[in-house]
Amino acid sequence: MVETLPLTAHAAVEHVADDDRATLFAVAEEIDAIVADWLARLGRDRLIVTLATRDFAAGLLVMIRSLRAVSDVPVLVLKLGSWRFEHEAEDVAAIQVPALVRAGVEARADLPHLSATLSKLWAFSITTPCRVAHLDADCLVLRPIDGLLDGDGFAAAPDLLLHYRLRAFNTGVFSFTPSADLRESLFRRLPELSVTDGDQSVLNAFFEDWRPLPLGLNFLRSQALVRALAQDRNLRILHYTPGKPWTSGPSHPRDHALAPLDDLWTERLSDAEYRDVKRQWQLDVDAVEQNLTVWASRSAGLYRDQIADGLTRTRRRLRLWLAGLGLLSAMQTLALFWIVLRG
């Protein structure tokens, strides 16, 4: 069962701008106090955190299930929006947090999920555990994650997909040593840090001195071409980015080649859950087909109108041309008649 840890003082707050320091720190301190009480009741001093929205619920279900197969570390779900999440795993709690947003900046229409990822930074509100790790809800844990919660400072795996020319990390999986000083420093600098790539831009700019984790602790789906690679003993966490196995259709031309990796994810579903995912796939496909039908109908109507308008203009030009030709013929006839009379 998932334990709900409700915010009380800030339950009505739907979003917090990164430059609203008073509200930002007040919410952070309340999150910290609630989580500290929960961990004290469990008698635990390490924590795994994830962020989830309603459309990542299927990913969250499988991520926690795969994690519980190799680790009993408590899991905290930072939940955006009001939706119900249940799970059979023990020592899992969910807390509904307000969306953390960049003041005065609209969400990118082409990448709307980036606006949600800033809320991942609420994880740095927490100060009491000796170590905290974050896993994105689109991760699948394949093997024990030894080393992820060890060490000090901030640790993450290098990002070979987007930043192969730079020394940068991917924020799908990372760990850090929490403290009040870290929270204070990050949240005070937050308004000046770039949010071009969501939390990834923020954290790469903030943590200039970071410790690299083995790539196997955050192996991006797009880096694998065959299922056999995911059987490598060094691979521990498979990160489904950019394609998600619970969504229908490829989001990238290479997705057909990478599809076998999705089987690793669907194997973690029960029969009923798999049917639900397939039903959602069909709904997604139906919606796309409906949109295409509407688009085609509108386009066909537009083309018909354009053709009709073109024919009308052509007929008008033809009538004018014939009228001009008739006038020219009449003038020629008059000219000949005049010549005959003068002759």
Q: Strands, DSSP E only, in 67-165?
A: 75-80, 92-97, 99-101, 131-135, 139-141, 155-158
Segment among 26-40, 93-107, 207-221 with least mean pLDDT: 93-107
What is the distance of C-alpha 294 from the center of its chain?
27
Give the residue with greater pLDDT, 11 vs 71.
71
In whole angstroms, what is the distance from residue 289 CA to residue 5 CA?
Answer: 41
Give whichever of 48-52, 116-120, 245-249 has the largest mean pLDDT. Answer: 48-52
What are the extents of the domains in the chain? 2-269, 271-343
Phi, psi dihedrals of residue 293, rounded to the nearest 5° = -65, -45
Segment among 112-121, 167-176, 310-319 with least mean pLDDT: 310-319
Q: Sheet harboring 139-141: ordered strands across?
A: 139-141, 237-239, 219-220
Q: Per the confidence metrics, is the pTM higher than 0.95?
A: no
pLDDT of the residue at 279: 86
Residue 187: closest CA among 125, 135, 136: 125
Residue 100, token pair as written in the block: 């953390």
What is the third-level CATH fold of 2-269? Answer: Spore Coat Polysaccharide Biosynthesis Protein SpsA; Chain A (3.90.550)
Give the percent of the chain with pLDDT over 90.
Answer: 55
**pLDDT one-digit tens code per residue, 147-172:** 899 999 999 998 876 555 668 999 99
Beta bridge partners of 219: 238
Would you say 258 and 250 are in contact if contact means Cβ atoms under 8 Å apart? no
Instruction: Examine the pLDDT at 126 and tell me if it is beyond 70.
Output: yes
Instruction: Examine the pLDDT at 229 and tell me if it is beyond 60.
Output: no
Q: In sequence order, which residues have a C-beta less than 8 Å from that of residue 38 and are 6 or more positions away?
A: 3, 5, 74, 76, 93
First-to-final CA distance of the chain: 116
Residue 221: closest CA among 256, 270, 271: 256
Would you say 117 and 197 are in contact if contact means Cβ atoms under 8 Å apart? no
Residue 13, token pair as written in the block: 């707050």
Instruction: Examine the pLDDT at 300 and tell me if it is beyond 80.
Output: no
pLDDT of the residue at 322: 62
Helices (H) and strands (E) in the chain, counts: 7, 13
